[in-house]
Each structure stands twice: as C-alpha cells, then as structure tokens.
Structure 1
Amino acid sequence: MSFSEDDMVVITSLVSEEIDRARQTRWERIQRREKRRRRMEQLKANPNLGTSSSQSITLDHSLEEENNSTHRFMDLDLYRAATKDDVDGFIDALERISNEKELPLLAIFEQVSPSGNTYLHIAASLNNFKTVLLIVDLAPWLLSTKNSKGDTPLHILARAGYENTVMRLVLNLKCYEHSTFSNGYKPESESATFPLWLMRSQNEEGNTVLHEALIHGHESLAFDLLLVLVKDPEALYYLNKEGKSALYLATVACFFVCINLLLDKIIEFESQFGKLKGKSPVHAAIMMRKIAVLAVILKKKPDWIHFQDEEGRTPLHCAVFMGYVEGVRYLLGKNASTATERDKDGFFPIHMASAKGHVHLIQELLQHWPNVREMQNNKGQNILHVAATSGKLNVVNYILKTPELQSLVNDKDKDGNTPLHLATLHWHPKLVSALTWDKKVDLRLLNNDGLTALDIAECYIENSSTFRQRLTWTALKAAGVPQNPKAKVEKQSFIQSKLQSTDNYKVRVNTLLLVATLVATVTFAAGFTMPGSYNSSGEDQGMAIMLKHSIFLVFIFCNTIAMYSSIFVAVTLIWAQLGDIHLVLITLRTALPLLGVALATMSLAFLAGIYLVMSKLNWLANAFMIMGLVFLVALLSLYIFLWFPMSSSYRIMRYVSYFPFCLLVLVTGSEDDSDFEE
C-alpha cells in the first residue's frame, strides 16, 4: 500500500499533534506533582503543623486523654476527602482545617471515626491509592495505628485484596521506620523493626496481614506476602485466636503454591521454632475433601499422618467422622497403622464410624484389623456399644447380621452395661426393639449395679416422661425382659423419692377435669335440643319428631354414653384432689380410657344428628357421613394407639403390636435422635 505525498504530509501533521498533546499532558502532570510536592513541604514546614517532640503522639495515650480531646473525632469534610481518590482535594481540606481550627498535623491525623478508624483506614478501605500514599507520607505512624477491631490499615487492605497498594506499602516500610519511631512509636520488642512488627501485628481475632489475605481468598497477594515473610520465618508460625496458622488457612483455601512455600519454610526452620502448633493442616485438607492438597502435605511431611488435633483425633478419625471414603482409603493406603490409633476418649477410627453410622467405613476398617473385639475405648466399649449409645440402627443391624461380629452382642463395658443397657439408657426405642427381637441377645444380663435393661428403664424414667422413653419401656416389656428381684429395694427407694411430689400431675388432672366437664355440658345440652325438634301438637306432643328413625337411636345412645362417661371421669378425678400420689395414678388410669370413650361417642352423636337433619338431601347427607367417618376412624386410631397393649409379652400380641410400634416411632421422630457429640 503506497501513500501520496499529500497523505504523508497529513499523517506527519497528525503524529506531530499527538506528540505535542502527550508532551503537554505530561508537562501538566509534572506541574501538578511539583505543585503538590511544594504544598506538602509547606504543610510539613508550617509551624502551626509542625511535629515537635512536645506534640508527639504516642501509642500509650490513656483513654481519659482521648475522650477529653476537643477534636478527637474526624472532621466531616476531611473524612469525605479521604473517601475520594483526590489528593488535591484532601490537601485543600487539610489546609482549611489547620487554618480554621489551628490544629497541628499530628492532632489532625490523630482524629478517628466512631469505630476508631483513622483517615488512613478510611482511604485504605476504598483503595484510594494516591490518598493512601499521601497520608502515609505525611503521617507514617498511622500504619501502626489500630481501630476498635485491632486492624491496622494493612489488615483492611489485605482483607479486601488490594494487592498493589499492600505491596507498595510493604516494600517501602523500611523507609517509614525512622519517621514512625521519631513520632513516639515503640515496638513490643526492643530488637523488632517497624516492618517486622507491622507484619506480625495481630488484630482482635488474632489475624496477621497474611492471615487476612488467606482467609479472604487472595492467593496472589498471600504469595507476595509470603515472599516478604520468608525473611521472618517466625511469623509463619503465628496462630490466630481460633488456633489457625497460615498453612492451615492456605490448605482450606487450596492455594497450592502457598502451601508448598510454607511447607518448605516450616521444614527448614523446624529445628529452630519447633513443630507447627494449632489446628492441623492435614485435617483441613480432609475437611475440604481435597485429596490433591492432602497428597502435597503428606509428601513433604509424611509424619503428619499421625498429627492429632486438640481432641487427640488423627486425620483418619476426621475422614471417618465425615464419611469421606476416598480420604479414608488414601490414608489407610499411606499408613494402615493409623487404624489402631486412639483419640483422647480412647476412640479408634472404627468407633467413630460406628458413632456416625458409616457402615461402609466399618467394613473398610475391618479389613485392616479384623479382631474388632480388642478395639475398646476408655469405657471398655466396642463398636456395638457405641452404636447403641449413638442410636445408629443401621450399624446395629449390620453387626447382628454379620456372623464374624456375634461376639460383640452381649459384651459388657467397664460399668457392666451391654449394648441393650446402653440403648435403654439413651432412650432409643427402635434400636431397643431391634436388639430384643434378636435371639442372640441375652435379655437377662445384669450390669454392675445389678440392673437389667428393664430395671434401668423403670429406675430412670421420669414422672413427666417423654413419649420416646415410654416407647423404649414398651419395647422392653413386650420382649419379656425380666427384672432383678434383688434390685427392687434400690428401685423402690428411687421411685419413692420421685413420688413425693404431685406437682407433675396437677396440670394433667386439671386438664382432664376441664375436658370432661365440657363434654358433659355439651352432651347434656344436646339431650334437650334434639335433631329435628319436637312435635308441637297431637298425641305425640313433646316427643322427638325423628323418634322412629334408626339413626336417631344412634344419636340417643351415643349422646347418653358420652354424657355419663364424662360425668364418671369428672367424679373420678375429684378423688385425685385428695393428694395421695398412688390414688392420683389410679384415677388417671381409669379416667383416660373413659374420656376417650366419651369423646368418640360424642363425635358419633354429632355425626348422627347432622345426618338426620340432612337426610332428605341424600348426596349431602352421604358426603357428610363419609367425611365424618373418616375423621372418626382417625380419632379411633389415635385412641387405639394410645391404649393398645403394645407392652404385652404374649408372642402373638407382640407380633401384632410390632407395626403400630414402628409407626409410632416413625411419627414421633424417635429414631432420628443421636447422642454422639461432635
């Protein structure tokens, strides 16, 4: 492509103009910088703004001095200027305030917001790069000032991930050291330099600048900070208040480059600073379910496969607890001996699998130590004991159906409790039922207190027992679990102590008495307001119009039964007011079924009465009859479940009551509870 001479002239002219504009812009920028520099020099040289030693602001000011300061809180105009990345505007505001209020420079920069933030904190939170550099140049000691949360400006910048600003300040910290020390700052250690102190500085949560970058997922910034901190390896061992080190946080964030660098330095300086403390990075890799991270850590620190947390749990314990199959297999493949390591409670990993209901992990762990009977915790409990305590039915069923594990079924712990005893103690009705149905379970075994499982249920069940406890007791009674006659003296004294107070029954008696009274009142009124009304003339005057209707007879009989049943209940409950606890129990056993009869017959009487008055409109009467019968069946079902003899030990009755029992367990949610504490 060729250009004519005229085109070349035009192009040359355009290029020249562009160059001139660029030069002009650059010159203007230089002029602005020079003007700004002169203004800053004037600010520093102004006697009104000087930084004499008498005006020095130290970090040990008392709270009283700060609160009594007239100009302690920020000037609003200067605050607004700090929120904008306008250096000239900030200098304008600074000059105006100093002239109007006649404040020295240190007094102005000492001003804080209600949260204790300085102007540097405010500018840093918005990443106003130029304003940050200006403030640091004028008041470098603000880099070490903390707000109410203990954050320095670097903490705020690192938390937000402002990498360029952070690194610009960090790499120039040495330049600010003299200014900072000359203005009253003193580090905690006489040998500590200002950059070293600032990088080690921890906020109220115990986080350093590096911690903040890692917690908030700023990988590039964290790596840059690590490159700076390799000269100060001690800072890499710092823990925050949650016990988390930089390596732990890098593991949680899955920052491979940071993890490798941290591991190298920890290995290099381990002889000088000792082992890494705090929460285990290996546990963190497992909790994040990152096999790749786990492999990196164990490749450089293979002995960390035995790293124990504050509860003495190894990485394998953690993986089993989470049900992390891939992690469990990886750890066992690395070192199978970890399957036989205990935590502080004496729990082996297989106990943890049992407590959490991870049957597939129990099978995996049994391949590495098949004689599970030898694996007992500090209480002498095997995996079936733990499953019974935690209420893990799937584990119990697996053990009961596995011939190699039959030796666990009747094992006793150090208190003499079998799995059945423990399932009873922790009120797991479905699990108790499963154990009692299995013929291999010995129902007659006693613990060290001489109690059978039924003795325990009757001793420890409360007066105001939950339905879950009642179902547990029912399962034991239905299975025919015996009682130890020799334990009756102890049981009797225990029960007598509970029977001293009738407070638990007062509300129950009063509630039943109120319901019975209401039923009697309603049915009495219904006896004189017959459905269809009365004959008002003739031979049958005063007689019910529907008297010869068959459904009317149902109404009369049901209403009569309901009224007399409720009256009988009310009279019976009056006897409960005498205060004798045994009499209260007898009256409750008598009143409850009768009140159920009264409610059921009253409902049927209502159904019959409504049907009578709508009988000429067949479809409506039939629809109402069907609807009423559905609800009546539901009512009777609840009544039957309440009084069905599910605790009967007769074999036929036990088979018949099994399904109602399972339904009640399901409906009441009694099979979802777990007593294992994480």
Structure 2
Amino acid sequence: MGSEATAPAVPSAISPELLMAARGGKWDKLDELLSASTLPVVVNIEGTPPANPRPTVAAGLPLGLDSILHVVASSGDDANFLKSADVIHTKDKELLYALNSNGDTPLQCAARAGNIKMVSHLINHAINHGGNARLKEMLKNQNGKRTATADSPRPVPGDTALHDALRLADQKIRKEMVDKLLTFNVELASIESTDGTSPLYLAVMLEHYDIAKALYQKNKRLSYSGPDRQNVLHAAVLRNHDMTRNLLKWNMDLTKQRDGTMGSTPLHFAATWGKKYGWVVKLLLEKDESSAFQSDDKGSFPIHAAAVNMSPSIVQIFLKRHPSCGKLQDANGRTFLHIAVKEERTFLVKYACWREKPDMTAVLNIQDNAGNTALHLAAKLSNQWIFYFLIQNPHVQLNLVNKKGQTPLDIAWKRRPQGIIYVLDPRVRIHLLLKGAGAKTGSYKRDWFLDKHVRDKVDLSKLDKMITDSIQIIGVGSVLIVTVTMAAAITMPGGFRAAEDRYKGAAMLSDSTVFQLFIVANTVALVCSGLATMNVMFAGVATVDIRTRMSNFLLSILFLYCSSKALVASFLFGLYAVLPPTAMKIAYISSAIAAPFLVLDVLWFIFAVAFGEAMLFRRLGCIKWLRTLSFTRFPNFILEIKDVLEMPLPHKNKAVNSEVQGSGSDKEEKGLTAGRPGN
C-alpha cells in the first residue's frame, strides 16, 4: 500500500488497535486492520506527527513515523511475530527496505532487540524478494541523520546492524547474531559508524574478544578505526594482553597512529596508567621500539606521560630499554625529570637522582626553554623532599642561571618568607641547605636583589594582623594552663592530712618522690604559661615597635610550648603517684598513652633536620660537610629571634629608596639580568 501512495497523508488519528496488534504479535488482528485501512502501513510511535512532514528517501514515510514492520521486528521473534511480519510483507514488500525516522531498517530494529529469529526471517524475505545484491545493501544500511541540511548536505552515516548486535548483553545471542550477519555480508566488518567506530573497536571496547577474533578471521581487511581518530590498539592496551598481542600481529602500523584529541599513540595510553600496565609497555616497545620516540601534539613523549602520572616503574622500563629516552624534551624543553618535579612526584625524582649512570647524569642539568633545571623548579615549588633528593646527587649543578638570570639560590632566597616563620618551613630549609652546599647567587649590583625581592615581601599591615589574630589563640591557651595548674596546686592528688594529724593540712603524698616531681612539673607549667601570657600582652600592644612585638610573640609561643609539655608531665607524675601499687597496669598503660606527646614532635623535628643534613652529607662527603657545618643551619629559638631583629623592613619612602639605589635603579628594575656584569 505504501508503494502505491506517491504522497502519503499523515493520519489524523492513529489507531491504537493497530499499534496494540503489532506490539502483541496478533497477526490475525493485524491482517484484519490492514485489509480494512486505506492509509499507508505506518504508525506514529513518537508522539504527534510533524506539521509539514517530508518523505524519507527509501519508502516515502513521513518523519516521526515507523512502519508497522519496524514495530513488529523490534517487538519479538516467536511464531506470532514472524507470522505478523509475513502479513505486513504481503501487503507491501518495499517496507522491508523502508527507513524509519531514525534511519533504521526493520532488520536493524530486530538486531538491536536481539530477535535472532526475526533477523533470519527478514533476511529470507529479502533474498526471495530482491536477491543477494539487495540484501547486502540492506545489511550495509547505516542509521542516523538522513536529511540534508546546510551544515550537512549529505546524510550522516551511523551504525549498521552489526554495531547493534555487538551491543547485545546476552553472549549466546550476540555471537549468533554476529555470525548470521557476517555470513551474508562480511563487508560489515569494514564499515565504520558516524564517529569512526569500527565493529572491531566496539568488540574490543566491550571486551568481546572471541567476536573480535571472529571478525578478523572472516575479513582480513576489516577496519581498525575508533572515535576521535583512535584505533583499536588504543582500546586494547588498557584491556587485554592477548588481544593487544593479536592486534600487533594483524597490523603493526597501529602503534604509530595518533588519536585526534592530543595526538597520543597507544604507547602514550599505556604509559599514562601506571604500574599495572607495565606488561603492555614492554610489549609495545618489543614490537616497535621507535614508538618511544614519537611525540603527541604538545611534543610530549610516552616517558613524559609516565612522569605526569607518577609511574616510576614505567619510566624505569623506558630507561632500561632506551636510556636516551631520559633526554627527550617536550615542546617546552622539559624532560621527564622536569615533569616529575613540577607534578611533585617524589619517588620518581628519587629514582632518577639515585640512578648512578652516565645517561642520567646529563638529564639532571638539562634546562628547559625558560632555562630552568629540575633544581630551579624544586626551589620554586618549595617541596623539600624533592629538593633533598636532587641536592644529594653531586652531579646536580647548583649555579646554572636561567633566562631571568636566577640561580636556584636566588629563587630560594626570593621564596624565603620574612618575619615570623615556622622553624621547619620548607622554604627556609631549602635556602639554608643551598647555602650550605656552596650555591651562589647571580651577579647583581650591590643590594638590588635585597630591595627588589626581600624588603618588598614584608607587608607590615599583614604582619600586624597576623600577630593580632594569633595572640588571641595563644592567650586563651596560656590562661587555660594557668587556671589548670593553679587548680592542681589547690586540689592535691591523694588529698590532705586530717585535723588530728601532727602535720594537718599537708599533702598526704608529700613524702613520695613521684609526687614531688608532680609539684615541680606543675610549677614549671604555671611559670611558663604566666610568662606566655605576659608576652602575649606586649605583643598585642600596637604602640610597641613591630620588631619588639614579633620577639614577644615568639617568646609567648616558646613559653606556651614549654608549659604544655610541663602540664602533661605533671599529669603523668600525678597519675603515677596515686595509682600504684594497687593499679600498676593502669598506670603503665596511661603513661604509655600520654608519654608520646612529650617526644613525638621532638623526634619529628630531629628527623626533618637530620634528613636534610644527611642529603647534604651524601653530596659533599664527610670532610666538606664538617667544614660547612654551622648552627645557623639548625632551627633554634635564638637564631629566630636574631632574624626577626635583623629583618630588613621595606623603605617607608620610595624616594629614599631610589636615591639609595642611584641613577641606575630604573634600568635595574627591568629584571635580574640588568644587574649582571656586561649588561
């Protein structure tokens, strides 16, 4: 009927009985309704038909309408549905090739639904009606956008029935469906979908490896492409070892093909995802060693991809097989070591710096396009652990100058905070250790660097606000400790002697050595917290000189720290004085729980300082290290107070500053290189 209508009219009212019969496989009712109807054999299953329908290419069906055969094909494949398809085919044989609004043939609808019997039935009808040639054309049909637009003058190809079959969940039906479709047209394995996805790529992505092998066995000229200009090897390297090996046997050119996103090769993909993909990195390098030297669109090589994602084991594979990979530089001139430092991959930097081989020695001092070595970047990032592993290697040069005229020491000096600082601040440790290692600054005129990068960093208003905000917390803590220690002195552990006792009112445990230690510790806590409170008061007075306030602030921190330690000690002594001998185990357990509070921070302090010194010792050797040993390199309270008192404050009058700098200051302000000899 549809073939007889040159301009089919859109039904004004769709018969629900017709749709119900098609969905339910009621072929007799369907035959009755179609015989009585004068309308095209179509039914709207997408809602209201469009106001101005345009005919599709294949069957003259209005957009938004599916033929009854499409509905039946997608609804089931038992005997009733097969008979329903026969009834519709008898009414209009061309509907077998008709496209619905999505560009699907009835066979594609059946394949997507997993109706294998219906697919076979429709294939038989196609052979009987149009022969093998027309069947192959029907099988090659791709759904998708079928109408021409200004942006797309030609129809956009989509998926074939084979693509739909590969997405089926049931393994048995999926395999049977794929075999059936390839039996009648093996060219389906070469047809790509809209975004370039080939059936082989889809099979590997969905981990249907048996089907992937079957596709290759049936058609050796199948497509290997994937979306975004990827190929099937991009997907396989992240999924299956055997499939990757098979693909490399089938097509070695896949190793060099780059995707459309960043120009990544399959080796970039494998190197990115870490240790568990080491096997595929080895396999790819074994089959194509040159792939390690193929960059992406940003100039990054696979070893850079491994460094970004913290894969020391992958980098190790590259360096063991091809040591020269370590010297590869990306578009910014960065080696894998630059990337590791920038991304703060500590263990990768450790591996690179402890690798005592000539090929790695050269990598340590390679400069990027900005002239920075890995040590420059470590000083800029202020990551002390990365810095430690770099400086311990004697081959790392300390005085290379970047394009701004800066050595690593200049950067560390610039990064070093001014004013009140934490004694273990990584920026301070890096600066001190560089000086201890013998690092030098760039060549500058007089105190230009100090005025440019040190004095300007001291913001007195921020420093004042920091002190004001901090003393509130310290003041509360010190007052609380004063209150606790005074309360402990009034309510002694063990109580007081009775009135009838000769020493009435005296503490019951006054003869105990542990109790006496409790008294001493409590007194120390009281005195230190009182001194902390007094210093906090001076630090909070705005009329006091800023250096004096900073010194008082530091003193308050020191006294508060000592009082907290003494308070814990008094707690332990008091607990131990009243519990034994009746509860020795509880006394020991309580002491073991509280005691670490007294030593853990000290142990951490010792470790943090000793580790840096050990790295410096490793670089310099025993004799040179002893010669450079200085107490200024060890954080201590006296030096911190001294630094505060000698801290260079910013000039209050810029005119004075420029006068001090001299007539050449304008030229020097342009950059560090202006102060270098010869400029």
**TM bin (shorter chain):** 0.5 to 0.7
SS in 2 for 1:541: coil
State the one-letter code of the partner of 2:366: D
SS in 2 for 1:567: helix
- The 8 Å contact of residues 248 and 279 in structure 1, kept in 2 or not, is answered as no
SS in 2 for 1:537: coil
Residue 389 of structure 1 and its aligned partner are, at CA, apart by: 3.1
- The 8 Å contact of residues 337 and 352 in structure 2, kept in 1 or not, is answered as no
In the comparison of the two structures, how many residue pairs are matched? 539
Residue 501 of structure 1 and its aligned partner are, at CA, apart by: 7.4
SS in 2 for 1:555: helix
SS in 2 for 1:611: helix
Write out aligned runs for 1:17-32 (5 A).
none
CA gap of 1:295–1:223, structure 2 versus 1, over 3 A, is: farther
CA gap of 1:499–1:121, structure 2 versus 1, over 3 A, is: farther
State the one-letter code of the partner of 2:525: A
Establish whether residue 338 from structure 1 lines up as the match of residue 291 from structure 2.
yes
Which one of 248, 253, 258 corresponds to residue 215 of structure 2? 258
State the one-letter code of the partner of 1:558: A
Match of 1:311 in 2: 262
Match of 1:224 in 2: 180
* Per-residue deviation, residues 630-665 of structure 1 (Å, max 9, x unmatched): 234311223314655945899689779x9xxxxxxx
Match of 2:495 in 1: 533
Establish whether residue 611 from structure 1 lines up as the match of residue 576 from structure 2.
yes
TM-score (normalizing by structure 2): 0.64
Structure 2 CA distance, aligned partners of 1:596 and 1:317? 52
CA gap of 1:330–1:626, structure 2 versus 1, over 3 A, is: closer
Residue 335 of structure 1 and its aligned partner are, at CA, apart by: 3.5
* Per-residue deviation, residues 320-345 of structure 1 (Å, max 9, x unmatched): 44554554444344443323211122
Match of 1:637 in 2: 599
State the one-letter code of the partner of 2:265: T
Which one of 541, 549, 558 corresponds to residue 521 of structure 2? 558
CA gap of 1:625–1:319, structure 2 versus 1, over 3 A, is: same
CA gap of 1:475–1:462, structure 2 versus 1, over 3 A, is: closer
* Per-residue deviation, residues 354-399 of structure 1 (Å, max 9, x unmatched): 5556566556545775545752111212233233334153564355
CA gap of 1:231–1:211, structure 2 versus 1, over 3 A, is: closer
CA gap of 1:362–1:110, structure 2 versus 1, over 3 A, is: closer
Establish whether residue 42 from structure 1 lines up as the match of residue 27 from structure 2.
no
Write out aligned runs for 1:481-560 (5 A).
482=439, 484=441, 487-492=449-454, 495-496=457-458, 500=462, 509-537=471-499, 540-560=503-523
Structure 2 CA distance, aligned partners of 1:645 and 1:170? 78
Structure 1 CA distance, aligned partners of 2:49 and 2:85? 24
Structure 1 or 2: more helix by fraction: 1
Gaps in structure 1 of 5+ consecutive residues: 1-34, 66-105, 112-117, 178-191, 268-273, 659-678
Structure 1 CA distance, aligned partners of 2:104 and 2:538? 71
Write out aligned runs for 1:107-506 (5 A).
129-130=78-79, 133=82, 161-168=114-121, 199=143, 209-215=161-167, 216=169, 218-226=174-182, 236-239=191-194, 244-252=197-205, 253=207, 254=209, 255-261=212-218, 264-266=221-223, 278-291=229-242, 293-309=243-259, 310-322=261-273, 324-355=277-308, 362=315, 365-366=318-319, 370-372=323-325, 375-390=328-343, 391-394=345-348, 396-399=350-353, 400-426=355-381, 428-453=383-408, 455-456=410-411, 459=414, 470-471=425-426, 474=429, 477-478=432-433, 480=436, 482=439, 484=441, 487-492=449-454, 495-496=457-458, 500=462
Task: State percent identity of aligned pairs.
Answer: 23
CA gap of 1:454–1:121, structure 2 versus 1, over 3 A, is: farther
Which one of 52, 56, 72 corresponds to residue 39 of structure 2? 52
* Per-residue deviation, residues 135-161 of structure 1 (Å, max 9, x unmatched): 7678899997789xx999988865675
Residue 54 of structure 1 and its aligned partner are, at CA, apart by: 12
- The 8 Å contact of residues 247 and 281 in structure 1, kept in 2 or not, is answered as yes
Structure 2 CA distance, aligned partners of 1:196 and 1:466? 73
CA gap of 1:224–1:169, structure 2 versus 1, over 3 A, is: same
* Per-residue deviation, residues 11-66 of structure 1 (Å, max 9, x unmatched): xxxxxxxxxxxxxxxxxxxxxxxx965443323345xxx4636997496947999x
- The 8 Å contact of residues 223 and 258 in structure 1, kept in 2 or not, is answered as no
Residue 529 of structure 1 and its aligned partner are, at CA, apart by: 0.9
Residue 220 of structure 1 and its aligned partner are, at CA, apart by: 3.6
Structure 2 CA distance, aligned partners of 1:561 and 1:174? 102
SS in 2 for 1:534: coil
State the one-letter code of the partner of 1:286: V
Structure 2 CA distance, aligned partners of 1:457 and 1:144? 70
Match of 1:94 in 2: none
Residue 308 of structure 1 and its aligned partner are, at CA, apart by: 0.6
Structure 1 CA distance, aligned partners of 2:119 and 2:41? 32
State the one-letter code of the partner of 2:256: H
Structure 2 CA distance, aligned partners of 1:258 and 1:329? 27
Residue 531 of structure 1 and its aligned partner are, at CA, apart by: 1.5
SS in 1 for 2:595: helix
CA gap of 1:461–1:123, structure 2 versus 1, over 3 A, is: farther
Residue 433 of structure 1 and its aligned partner are, at CA, apart by: 1.2
CA gap of 1:60–1:171, structure 2 versus 1, over 3 A, is: farther
* Per-residue deviation, residues 255-288 of structure 1 (Å, max 9, x unmatched): 2112455651449xxxxxx998632212222222
CA gap of 1:201–1:639, structure 2 versus 1, over 3 A, is: same
- The 8 Å contact of residues 396 and 431 in structure 1, kept in 2 or not, is answered as yes
* Per-residue deviation, residues 63-94 of structure 1 (Å, max 9, x unmatched): 999xxxxxxxxxxxxxxxxxxxxxxxxxxxxx
Structure 2 CA distance, aligned partners of 1:176 and 1:505? 92
Structure 2 CA distance, aligned partners of 1:599 and 1:167? 85
CA gap of 1:132–1:571, structure 2 versus 1, over 3 A, is: farther
* Per-residue deviation, residues 474-499 of structure 1 (Å, max 9, x unmatched): 35534536574754444336634697
- The 8 Å contact of residues 432 and 472 in structure 1, kept in 2 or not, is answered as no
Write out aligned runs for 1:643-658 (5 A).
644=606, 646-647=608-609
- The 8 Å contact of residues 338 and 373 in structure 2, kept in 1 or not, is answered as yes
Residue 295 of structure 1 and its aligned partner are, at CA, apart by: 4.8
Structure 2 CA distance, aligned partners of 1:555 and 1:275? 76
Moved more, 363-372 or 377-386: 363-372
* Per-residue deviation, residues 473-531 of structure 1 (Å, max 9, x unmatched): 53553453657475444433663469737777776544433333322222221121112
Moved more, 312-321 or 164-173: 164-173
